[in-house]
Chains A and B, each alone.
Chain A
């Protein structure tokens, strides 16, 4: 339909930064040595991995680079952390998590429940903010692990990890805290020490490294049983020959992300706010699903009432605009987003909810283009809705 590409789905994945790719290239070509080998030829590979490890250490502010394990993705980081903690100490059978976690974590807990673990799923309020009182009440002597995402992938809502750590540790100092930080990496500063985090997972492709590489922070006081058993790589915590080019890539991407943090909270936030406020003021059946909640600077989740998200996305796609929807129809799962349902987003808006997520590559022109084109798309989709009476009433209400 169009050659234009306006990519506003950066919470799904991001464009690889040229500088990241450049740094990776030698390790695809000449520097192919196995980093574990004994000859000089392997020195560059093993040094490159060491450097990348230091970069990730600094990126999350770990005390020691030995606390960093490279993995293949965010899901592997989460699985290694969660199963690792539970398998190391099998006497404790209670886990606490939230209702709005990413499926890679939620589905793992569903599986663990079948294996005899007791899992409490903590709810959120209508803005998507975690119920800290419910969390505090849930922690008990048997709680092995609390697992909470730093920010939600669909709404961008940030959880107060420091406070959560305090609550958990004050109730049970032996309970470990795993934080899925996939959606904050490169968006807000990560400081595992200041926030009392025991384990933390990130994924490279969410901050301009390629797909296929992630990292896991495990602090020196936390023991895990490895998920992948084999060689001595990653200090025995994750066997398998190191994926040198990708590890170099995630290291470089972390270094760049650190540099862009300020740009993220100023410029990207400005563009996000511009997009958001224009949509909300120009389109009467639009609603901000997160209210006043504290969010990462690049994400906004807006519901369009009485219309369905997939149809909006298809019309956007015809104009080269990429976003995503919490609608059931887009996923093939038949059910709308578990995150928006946990927030009790009304059924009038849940199916028509669209997530917009920006990146350092998003330009003002692109945001202006979306602001210009979106109202007529929404108008078109709204005009075929069977809920014309309700829409009319909503229009009157918003006028006031």
Chain B
């Protein structure tokens, strides 16, 4: 018996927004009958805002719940906001999924990605996306897991979005390797490549791109946390892998500031940009 959250149970018992939309502006499909689950998502988009969403799912309880909650999450949002939704967001919104069922949330993400792939992207540029694009053009739709027809791209995305580190985790999230298991060594290679690549791509960045990337991590991952406690952080200078910052607000002069800097801020930067990062406080 799966340990489903109340929210998952509520959504498979009473799925929201079931059905199709005639003259939908975008339709996305993920999964297949052979694989045992499929999701079709229909979107109505007006002035770049998702005004309606409907779904049809062939799949288990958590697949239906993931699809159902996804439609609730996207109605009323702009296309750009919707583009940023990851499988992790879907799982989180459901109050979590059993590890073996994470692939259901991935299916939601994939259907959404499929629906929006033909929509023109706006000016928003994420460096991560550039890295991804670079990688994707290299190895487009190469199928890794022949049992479930899982592409290298799908595995790459799952690793990136969920920070997956082991083959077992990749199987839980994408199903790849879950049947005959012959592709497990390839999956391990992709995991290794991902973590090495992350490093080498960073090394290839121009100084400006590097600054933007560091700043992006500080602004999106570190600063909001410090603001919660009435403090903040500001990027002062970057000399190669040494990052100089200034603590502001309550953080400046706080006797725990060294801990904040080393145990939190530096760790976040190292997770995103490599373990050789040093964070230095400028008073």
Contact residues of A with B, CB < 8 Å?
306-311, 314-315, 318, 327-330, 332-336, 347-348, 351, 383-388
Taking a contact as CB atoms closer than 8 A, the residue among B15, B34, B60, B171 that contacts A384 in the complex is B15
Q: Are B58 and A385 in contact (CB under 8 A)?
A: yes
Taking a contact as CB atoms closer than 8 A, the residue among B58, B101, B179 that contacts A387 in the complex is B58
Q: How far is the CA of A66 from the CA of B60 in the complex (A)?
A: 49
Taking a contact as CB atoms closer than 8 A, the residue among B15, B36, B148 that contacts A327 in the complex is B36
Q: Does B85 contact A (CB under 8 A)?
A: no
Given known pairs A334-B171, A335-B178, A384-B18, the reply for A329 and B59 (CB within 8 Å) is yes
- What 1/0 flags go to B86-114 for Cβ under 8 Å of A? 00000000000000110000000000000
Does more than half of chain B's interface fall in helix, strand or loop, or is it mixed? mixed
Q: How far is the CA of A309 from the CA of B64 in the complex (A)?
A: 12
* A residues near B55, Cβ cutoff 8 Å: 384
* B residues near A318, Cβ cutoff 8 Å: 13
* A residues near B66, Cβ cutoff 8 Å: none
CB-CB contacts below 8 Å: B32-83 with A? 33-34, 36-40, 55-61, 63-64
Q: How far is the CA of A348 from the CA of B37 in the complex (A)?
A: 11
* A residues near B20, Cβ cutoff 8 Å: 388
* B residues near A385, Cβ cutoff 8 Å: 56-58
Chain B residue nearest to A330 in the complex (CB): B60
Q: Are A306 and B60 in contact (CB under 8 A)?
A: no
Q: Are B60 and A308 in contact (CB under 8 A)?
A: yes
Given known pairs A347-B34, A387-B33, the reply for A334 and B12 (CB within 8 Å) is no
Q: Report the minimum CB–CB distance from A112 to chain B (whole Å).
A: 18
Contact residues of B with A, CB < 8 Å?
12-13, 15, 18, 20, 29, 33-34, 36-40, 55-61, 63-64, 100-101, 147-148, 171, 175, 178-179
Chain A residue nearest to B15 in the complex (CB): A384
Q: Are A311 and B61 in contact (CB under 8 A)?
A: yes
Q: Report the minimum CB–CB distance from A201 to chain B (whole Å).
A: 28
* A residues near B60, Cβ cutoff 8 Å: 308-311, 314, 327, 329-330
* B residues near A333, Cβ cutoff 8 Å: 178
Taking a contact as CB atoms closer than 8 A, the residue among B15, B38, B56, B175 that contacts A388 in the complex is B56
Ordered by A's residue number, 14 sampled pairs between the chains whose C-beta atoms are within 8 Å are A306-B33, A306-B58, A308-B37, A314-B12, A318-B13, A327-B36, A327-B60, A329-B37, A329-B60, A329-B101, A384-B55, A384-B56, A385-B57, A385-B58
Q: Report the minimum CB–CB distance from A325 to chain B (whole Å).
A: 10
Known contacts A308-B36, A334-B148, then 14 further A-B pairs from the complex at CB < 8 Å, ordered by chain A residue: A307-B58, A309-B60, A310-B60, A311-B64, A327-B60, A329-B36, A333-B178, A384-B57, A385-B56, A385-B58, A386-B29, A386-B58, A387-B33, A387-B58
Taking a contact as CB atoms closer than 8 A, the residue among B36, B56, B61, B175 that contacts A386 in the complex is B56
* A residues near B101, Cβ cutoff 8 Å: 329
Taking a contact as CB atoms closer than 8 A, the residue among B56, B61, B179 that contacts A335 in the complex is B179
Given known pairs A334-B178, A388-B56, the reply for A308 and B100 (CB within 8 Å) is no
Q: Report the minimum CB–CB distance from B113 to chain A (whole Å).
A: 17
Q: Are A386 and B18 in contact (CB under 8 A)?
A: no
Chain B residue nearest to A315 in the complex (CB): B13
Q: Are A348 and B148 in contact (CB under 8 A)?
A: no
Q: Are A308 and B58 in contact (CB under 8 A)?
A: yes
Chain B residue nearest to A383 in the complex (CB): B18
Q: How far is the CA of A64 from the CA of B198 in the complex (A)?
A: 70
Q: Are A348 and B36 in contact (CB under 8 A)?
A: no
Q: Report the minimum CB–CB distance from A364 to chain B (whole Å).
A: 28
A-B complex: 8 closest residue pairs judged by Cβ atoms: A334-B178, A329-B60, A310-B60, A386-B56, A386-B40, A332-B100, A351-B36, A328-B36
* A residues near B178, Cβ cutoff 8 Å: 333-335
* B residues near A384, Cβ cutoff 8 Å: 15, 18, 55-57, 64
Q: Are A311 and B33 in contact (CB under 8 A)?
A: no
Q: Are B39 and A336 in contact (CB under 8 A)?
A: no
Residue with the greatest number of chain B CB neighbours at <10 A, chosen from A306, A309, A384, A388: A384
* B residues near A330, Cβ cutoff 8 Å: 60
Q: How far is the CA of A26 from the CA of B36 in the complex (A)?
A: 50
Q: How far is the CA of A334 from the CA of B61 in the complex (A)?
A: 14
Q: How far is the CA of A311 from the CA of B4 in the complex (A)?
A: 13
Q: Are B61 and A310 in contact (CB under 8 A)?
A: yes
Chain B residue nearest to A332 in the complex (CB): B100
Q: Report the minimum CB–CB distance from A302 to chain B (whole Å).
A: 18
Q: Report the minimum CB–CB distance from B104 to chain A (whole Å).
A: 9
Residue with the greatest number of chain B CB neighbours at <10 A, chosen from A306, A315, A318, A334: A334
Q: Are A348 and B175 in contact (CB under 8 A)?
A: no
* A residues near B175, Cβ cutoff 8 Å: 334
